[in-house]
Amino acid sequence: MSSKGSASDAKTDAKRGLRVGVVGAGVMGSNHARVLAGLPGVTLVGIVDPLPEHRARATALAGCRAFATLDELFGQGVDAITIAAPTHLHHEIALACITRNIHLLVEKPVASTVEEGQDIVNAARSAGVTLMVGHVERFNPAVAAIKQAISGEDILSIGITRVGPFPPRMSNVGVVIDLAVHDIDLIRWFTESDIVEVQPQLSSAVAEREDIALLQFRTASGVLAHINTNWLTPFKARSVTVATRGKYVMGDLLTRQVTECFGFKPDGSYSMRHLPVGHDEPLRAELVAFLDAVRTGDVPAVSGDEGVASLEIAIRCLEQPAKPAASAARKGPRRIAG
């Protein structure tokens, strides 16, 4: 059983429910399975992972069947699949699913390279299947509150901090692909504009790949933005600030508190208020949005093109050499006048 992606198929799927599978039973994939198992109108067919310990954990968490190979999952009949496997496997797995007309949510980053990401987008478009990229931070209720607060505003600057301790599970990417790609996507989404200038500063302090990144951007609409991210902070911190001509909005993405400063007066006074923030689990909201797009045939909340665009900017940050400081050639201590 598979879905062709047509309007009539979508209506049929909505009536009988969707059969959904998960590929990758690591931490993220296991959480996908947990959420999908509890969604109405969804049958969680199973989860795929080559490692027995991963399959056992996912089965215990979601109460679903687990398979060692993708073909075993295909054999059960699925309409949609979420891919939470290692990034270097996304291209192969996605194309195998698209060939069978299976709708896809692919965790960020969509692929290892822009070329592979574009292959996935083109194949999905040709097959007429839904492709969504898993930028889950868009579904954080605090992010949604910030987006609503700045809607229609003349945005001037955006600052995002995303820091924390080194993750033992991470081995093949650095902080730009693992963390900053979330915020590159948010900058593009907040501004509804492409990023046209990139100025990265990267450092590998304790890891083989970059574990500190200070990234500056300019969008086509003229917004200046920066991202501060690292794996050296002993605790997690996730914050967003947005300055517009009429507001200053501050959001803590962990505590989900969003504050808006407004009504600026010539004497420096202003008003402040806390904005209402929802309580939805971001991953649940993301998966619901994906399945709604499958059922209706509408453009998904995060399209494949958007996922590729954010990946392209992240890779530019890694490839563009940092500019040397103007004082790099200065020898000896600075003179002190007076």
User: What residue ranges do the domains of the chain occupy?
Assistant: 17-136, 137-279+303-319
Mean residue pLDDT of the chain comes to 91
Q: Return the structure tokens found at 289.
A: 């949005």
Mean pLDDT over 105-132 rounds to: 97
Residue 326's pLDDT is 46
Band of residue 132 on the pLDDT scale cut at 50, 70, 90: very high
Question: Are the beta carbons of 249 and 146 closer than 8 angstroms?
Answer: yes
Mean pLDDT over 115-135 rounds to: 98
Bigger pLDDT: 336 or 145? 145
Is 17-136 assigned to CATH 3.40.50.720?
Answer: yes
Mean pLDDT over 112-116 rounds to: 97
Question: Are the beta carbons of 157 and 224 closer than 8 angstroms?
Answer: yes
Residue 6's pLDDT is 45
Residues of 181-202 as b/e, b for ≥16 C-beta within 10 angstroms?
Answer: bbbbbbbbbbbebebeebebeb
8-27, pLDDT tens digit by residue? 454 444 456 899 999 999 99
Residue 7's pLDDT is 40
Band of residue 320 on the pLDDT scale cut at 50, 70, 90: confident
pLDDT surpasses 70 at 285: yes
Band of residue 173 on the pLDDT scale cut at 50, 70, 90: confident
220-272, pLDDT tens digit by residue? 999 999 999 999 999 999 999 999 999 999 999 999 999 999 999 999 999 99
Query: Considering the domain 137-279+303-319 in this protein, what is its CATH number?
Result: 3.30.360.10
pTM for this model (two decimals): 0.89
pLDDT surpasses 50 at 328: no
188-230, pLDDT tens digit by residue? 999 999 999 999 999 999 888 999 999 999 999 999 999 999 9
